[in-house]
Amino acid sequence: MDSPPPKTVTPAPFMLGACWYPEQWPEESWRRDAGRMRDTGISVVRVGEFAWSRLQPARGELRLHWLQRVLDILHDCGLRAVIGTPTAAPPRWLLDDLPDMCLVDGEGRPAAFGSRRHYCHAHPGYRKACAQIVTHLAKKFGRHPAVIAWQTDNEYGHHGSARSFSAAAAAGFRAFLRDKYRTMESFNRRYGGAFWSLEYNDFSQINPPAFTPAGHHPLLLLDFYRYSSHSIREFNRVQTEIIRRHSPGRAVLHNFAGFLSGFDHFALGEDLDVAAWDSYPGGFLARHGPAGEQLRYLRTGHPDYAAFHHDLFRGCGRGRMWVMEQQPGPVNWAPFNAIPAAGAVRMWTWEAHAHGAEVVSYFRWRQTPTGPEQMHAGLHTPDDKPAPGHAEVAQTAAELQNLPPPAPPFNRAAVALLVDYESIWMADIQPHGDRAAFTAVLDFYRALRRHGVDVDIISPRDDFTGRKLIVAPLWWAPAAEAVGRLQKSACPVLFGPRCGSRTEDFAIPGDLPPGVLRPLLKLSVRRVESLPPHAPLAVTFTAGAKKQSAAAICWREIVRAEGAQAIAKYSDGEGEGALFASENFTYLACRPNDALLDAVLRRLLKQAGICSAPPPPDVRCRRRGGVRWFFNYGSRPARIKVEGEVMIPASAKIRNGNCTLPPAGVLAVLDKAEGA
């Protein structure tokens, strides 16, 4: 406990960082590495993550001194440190002590040692082992002057680890159900257990939902998803409490992974100071992008995927968001791994900044020559030469000096997109056709971004006041309390199909969907259907310009208006409409294609009094404080209308009020008229 007395660390407004693994390199190189980081313009360095076998090489052996030396070196060089707890990579010897500590998948296969994330979050013994190593670290380094933050674990839920079917998880699940339902009678009643004789006599008879001939009861699945989410949060809280106790004044964060929905990120975020995340635009495109867009954005990444997550995690962090890992070159894990366009790493960094990131930290300082990630690029090649990303980081750091101090990141955008993890789980459990729940949410986000408006992503538990437009693509079982707050907010709200279609017990509402939303929407959904993916059903607006290609795809509902006004109709004349409005509330009774979604949002933005300025195709924009940012994800230069002083790039030339934005180019314009 030889660390200096505590010092309150105030996070700098926008800093660049690096993920550094000194334990993988000779100690002689550490000081040189640190110096070069500083010279590159890097301020924040993450260390320690995954280093458990070096901190505790065997039971009872503790080796913290090397990390002490690392932190001292960082401090000497004026760098700030984030310590990652090593609990995502439990060492081999721990399995000898706790042979049943491993995650078990839905097929009953226990995860073997040999990669990472093989632990079960519900295992009491493993939680205890985590508490011990984190206590050692927090006590030893909690007040070290270099340390400004702690990262718990790494990417919860990644590699399918959100849901464990182990004996420990089964025990936890039963306790969770007992706690929730109290009596078997209550459980059986709320489940509708008379169906298929699915009644239980005792909570001890209930197991996590494993292989059955026909489908599981949807509420059992939902409760198991709820329990798993709850268990991860509990697992995380073990660490946050220890860190808070021993490391006052430091931020506690977790680095979430993208494109995951196995647990409630908002809920876990409540226990953090900052929601960090790991941004891999190129890998995400290759893994999740539609075929057509994979070639279009091959070297710039998808224009909306990272942005969505920036906004999502800024929401989870209640305004505070970091990019803990930023892709610096090709990754190793996607179906194909292209070299980013020149400038893309810089563009991704500024896009993160525009969305409120306090830190963008590159993964990793130097590519490692061994192990599973040896094909993952770093800011340096394995021979310690600068990789192309390095120069872009240095350029970004230089440009950073010319910017005014950024406005507070969470600027309460006029438009809020509501993301409800329980609804994603419900839609995953009951797709009833071809519809990925996560994609449905993303579709609405992408359409808003095409309109050029800034978006905050909020949870159903967030405050709704002060918004000009709320968009809820997927909100199956709104709580009555949340509906009340929504009504009070008095702003226009757009609901997607199936909103209100279930109770919290995954039952169809007694008076049919939209259940609790019926008094607001003034309609009832009489029937629903899912359609083959390639059978779009044309939708026409009853007034206004005709949109030729607007259509419902995959899903549509037959609605009876009970006061609501039909704004658009299905071309086959079924039902009373495809889009309904009742005062502030609009309901979309089908899954929209992009053309229909654009038309609906145009209408809603107008109704909300939000002046949208759609950027050119492939260009995206975002305002932070008084600065308006433009990013070109396309492969051709784009022309941007500029009204104000150009901050970045310094070399920008304005002709006739226009500025040319090259591929992977960034433009920052001081736009005092708008303000924060």
- Binding to its own copies by residue 115, rule CB under 8 A? yes
The phi and psi torsions of 279 (rounded to 5 degrees) equal -105, 115
Beta strands in 205-297 (DSSP E): 251-256, 274-279
- Of 274 and 554, nearer to its own copies (C-beta) is 554
Q: What is the 3-state secondary structure (H, E, C) of 436-480?
A: CHHHHHHHHHHHHHHCCCCEEEECCCCCCCCCCEEEECCCCCCCH
Nearest-5° angle of CA 337, CA 341, CA 347?
Answer: 110
Q: Which of 525, 517, 477, 529 is nearest to 493 (CA)?
A: 517
Calpha distance 209→200 (Å, rounded): 14
Among 339, 391, 407, 670, binds its own copies (CB under 8 A): 339
Binding flags for its own copies, 286-315, as an x/- string (CB under 8 A): x-------xx--x-----------------
CB of 332 to its own copies, least distance (A): 7
Among 60, 292, 371, 657, binds its own copies (CB under 8 A): 371
Q: Which of 413, 449, 415, 423 is nearest to 319 (CA)?
A: 413
CB of 298 to its own copies, least distance (A): 7
Among 251, 377, 589, 605, binds its own copies (CB under 8 A): 377
- Of 411 and 530, nearer to its own copies (C-beta) is 530
- Binding to its own copies by residue 372, rule CB under 8 A? yes
Burial of 61 (0-12, 13-18, 19+ CB in 10 A): exposed
Q: Which of residues 217-276 bind its own copies (CB under 8 A)?
A: 217-220
Which of these ranges, 40-48, 143-151, 190-198, 347-355, lies near its own copies under the rule CB under 8 A?
190-198
CB of 87 to its own copies, least distance (A): 10
Q: Which of residues 498-557 bind its own copies (CB under 8 A)?
A: 505-512, 526-535, 554
- Binding to its own copies by residue 84, rule CB under 8 A? no
- Of 213 and 657, nearer to its own copies (C-beta) is 213
Calpha distance 271→189 (Å, rounded): 34
Q: Which of 607, 626, 508, 612 is nearest to 567 (CA)?
A: 607
Calpha distance 125→496 (Å, rounded): 44
- Binding to its own copies by residue 335, rule CB under 8 A? yes
Beta strands in 117-273 (DSSP E): 147-151, 251-256
Calpha distance 272→198 (Å, rounded): 39
- Binding to its own copies by residue 183, rule CB under 8 A? no
- Binding to its own copies by residue 457, rule CB under 8 A? no
Beta strands in 71-127 (DSSP E): 80-84
- Binding to its own copies by residue 63, rule CB under 8 A? no
CB of 231 to its own copies, least distance (A): 16
CB of 281 to its own copies, least distance (A): 15
- Binding to its own copies by residue 99, rule CB under 8 A? no
- The secondary structure of the chain in percent helix, strand, coil, rounded to multiples of 5, reads 35, 20, 45
Q: Which of 527, 565, 549 is nearest to 597 (CA)?
A: 549
- Of 382 and 563, nearer to its own copies (C-beta) is 382
Q: Which of 398, 402, 443, 437 is nearest to 420 (CA)?
A: 437
CB of 134 to its own copies, least distance (A): 15
Which of these ranges, 10-18, 47-55, 266-274, 608-616, lies near its own copies under the rule CB under 8 A?
47-55
Calpha distance 322→255 (Å, rounded): 8
- Binding to its own copies by residue 336, rule CB under 8 A? yes
- Binding to its own copies by residue 96, rule CB under 8 A? yes
- Binding to its own copies by residue 108, rule CB under 8 A? yes
- Of 14 and 165, nearer to its own copies (C-beta) is 165
Active site residues: 155, 325
Q: Which of residues 577-636 bind its own copies (CB under 8 A)?
A: none
Calpha distance 42→365 (Å, rounded): 10
- Binding to its own copies by residue 17, rule CB under 8 A? no
The phi and psi torsions of 541 (rounded to 5 degrees) equal -85, 145
CB of 549 to its own copies, least distance (A): 19
Among 113, 132, 439, 617, binds its own copies (CB under 8 A): 113
Residue 513 structure tokens: 């969907």
Nearest-5° angle of CA 658, CA 624, CA 328?
Answer: 85
- Of 4 and 372, nearer to its own copies (C-beta) is 372
Among 7, 24, 259, 270, binds its own copies (CB under 8 A): 24
- Binding to its own copies by residue 448, rule CB under 8 A? no
Binding flags for its own copies, 198-227, as an x/- string (CB under 8 A): xxxx---x-x-xxxxxxxxxxxx-------
